[in-house]
Amino acid sequence: MNPTYRIISGQWKAKRISAPKHFIVRPTTDFAKEALFSILDNRYALASSSVLDLFSGIGSITLEFASRGCQDIQSVEMNAKHAGFIQHTASELDLVLNMNIQRADVFDWLKKNKGKKQYDIIFADPPFDLDEKKYQELIALVLENDYLKENGVFILEHSSRMKLEHSQLLESRKYGNISFAFFNKETEVPL
């Protein structure tokens, strides 16, 4: 079966994107993506937000931001075929000017690019079988290296079975077997 997803809103609302059959990916479900973007639409002016999409897969999140008018999207995906698919799809939809797709290991990319740019929204959807220590390393690389703008948010998609704890974790939202963990730049000190 081909990995398929739907663009939820914006210029390409209801557009279905199908990747080649041999791609092994797990795009964020439409249900979860709709809930996530409902939250983001209420908190951010997406068209003027800078976005970093880590573990971009076949572009479900990247293209959702682009369809909503976001002009500054950086996508990082290690698989060359997946990165090429995002580039090709963005070109077909005339969205390519809004995004920069990098083929790289996310951990290496974050180590190499610290201090170069900050983002309003950072989204990461690593493989669910990633070791919990690697999840913690990912959180540290993003939050400790000044990637987030002052009021920015880092959203980490993970299996609902995994319970993440961190001093900068603001909230978690569960949508079936996936959850989104929201982190901010500053450590929240409970009163």
Each residue of 109-118: pLDDT tens digit?
Answer: 999 999 899 9
CA separation for the pair 148, 121 (Å, rounded):
7
Each residue of 57-68: pLDDT tens digit?
Answer: 989 999 999 999
Cα angle at 3 between 31 and 182, to 5 degrees?
40
From residue 42, how far is each of 36, 38, 67, 136 by CA, in Å?
Answer: 10, 6, 17, 28
What pLDDT band is residue 2 in, cutting at 50, 70 and 90?
low
Each residue of 3-20: pLDDT tens digit?
Answer: 778 888 888 888 888 877
Write down all domains in the chain, each with its CATH number in brackets.
4-184 (3.40.50.150)
